[in-house]
Amino acid sequence: MPGLVDMHTHREMGNQLGARDPRIFLAYGITTTRGLSDNAYLALENKESVDAGLRIGPRHFGTGEALDGTRVFYDGMHPIRSSAQLGRAFERARALDYDLLKCYVRLPPDLQARATRMAQQLGIPITSHYLFPAVAFGAHGHEHMGGTSRYGYSRTGSMLGTGYQDVVAIAAASRSFRTPTLFGLESMLGDAPDEILEDPRVQRLFPPAERAPLERAARGGPSRPVRMIANQVATILAQQAAGVTIVCGSDYPIVAPGISLHLNLRAMVRHGMRPVDALRTATRNAGQVLGHDLGTLARGQLADLVCVQGDPLSDIRAAMRVRRVMVGGVDHTVSELIAPFEAQMAVSSAAPAEPVEPDAGPTLASCEEPWWHNPHWVAEVRSNCCLPMA
């Protein structure tokens, strides 16, 4: 099958996995990633190293730090307060040859419109969290099913994940794309815990601190339908039927690499999407949005291929059973990808490490209020800024 594409990552925003990161993506059949807000220089170094054949990893379509308003949400973003400042940001984008532009959530509408025009001049796509007014300015697509915004609430989905008729109609009229990034899927690990957790890819490539949250989620037993996720997939299906191009993304490192993209595919199929259409969100559709010759098996396309055990067209779970992966004609087995970490695994298994973080943190599957109200995140913010603890 064609190599999979993760259309929403932040691989160079704070990569805690080091050399494991690119091998995890490849081991799960992900041959291409798209970066949405990264350290520009690290992203470029990684891209050039992979393209030159000096580093094993997926090909990467990247940008620099997201452009935001004067009160940035994350410290890795660029605050923009004037047209002159925006112009300098685009000079940098031209010099570093960005593949796309990402605006975040607090850029004022006039600067958002100007950023869109400048991206068009550079000949690269631009995206943000906003459906409207971004698509009215000519933006190509939007990210997530809902989330933070300058307005204090999501403008594309309700608290229970419903996207109403206006959202579907505007997206369809603009012929834009959407990257859903479904969250709260960790409980699905309980549907086949041994198959996923005992997999050598998890045991060798995921450090103990990264495995611990997966193991806790899987111990909960078989997952139950989550109303919010079902509503979000219903919105995805409505937009797909209206002509919106749906592409699949995970939002790593907020979620586990590799595995989370497959959980997105499984969630879409569980709630009504055909397996072939789910696979297209991570292959053909992604290639079309990227404007590149990948995502299909055809003469003249890039030789990004995955060999899996089973038929993912009848059982979407088979897409995770990767046996071989090829990027640009260079073939790797899963065993070869994890081999450098076999010795490290032997050392760590002799003295098992305790999980660094005893609390897995909130998941959107169980939150009854916005995630930024959750005590876990309130304490995190206060401990890292000037606000006194209550």
pLDDT tens for each residue of 133-148: 889 999 999 999 987 7
pLDDT of residue 241: 97
Burial class (CB within 10 angstroms; exposed 0-12, middle 13-18, buried 19+) of 369 = exposed
Average pLDDT, the chain: 88
Strand duo 59-61 + 67-68: pairing: unpaired
Q: Structure tokens of 101?
A: 């532009």
Query: What is the reported pLDDT for 358?
Result: 44
pTM, two decimal places: 0.88
Q: Residue 239, SS3? A: helix
DSSP codes of every residue in 66-116: PEE-SS-SSTTSEE--SHHHHHHHHHHHHHTT-S-EEB-S-S-HHHHHHHH
With beta carbons less than 8 A apart as the criterion, state whether 10 and 42 touch.
Answer: no
All structural domains of the chain with their residue ranges:
4-358
- Among 251, 71, 75, 238, which Cα is nearest to 164's? 238
Tell me if 69 sits within 8 A of 81, measured CB to CB: yes
CATH topology of domain 4-358: TIM Barrel (3.20.20)
Q: CB burial class (10 A; 0-12, 13-18, 19+) of residue 222?
A: exposed
100 φ/ψ sector (left φ>0, alpha ψ -120 to 50, else beta)? beta
CA atoms within 13 A on the CB side of 191: 12
CA distance 176 to 288: 12
**Residues of the chain where predicted confidence (pLDDT) is lower than 70:** 14, 343-390
Task: List b or e across 147-186, with b for residues whose CB sees 16 or more CB atoms inside 10 angstroms.
Answer: bbbbeeebbbbbeebbbeeebbebbbebebbbbbbbbbbb
The dihedrals phi and psi of 303, each to the nearest 5 degrees, come to: -85, 70
pLDDT at site 8: 97
Alpha helices in the chain (DSSP H): 20-27, 40-51, 83-95, 109-122, 134-137, 165-174, 193-197, 200-205, 208-218, 227-242, 259-270, 275-281, 284-290, 334-338, 342-350, 375-383
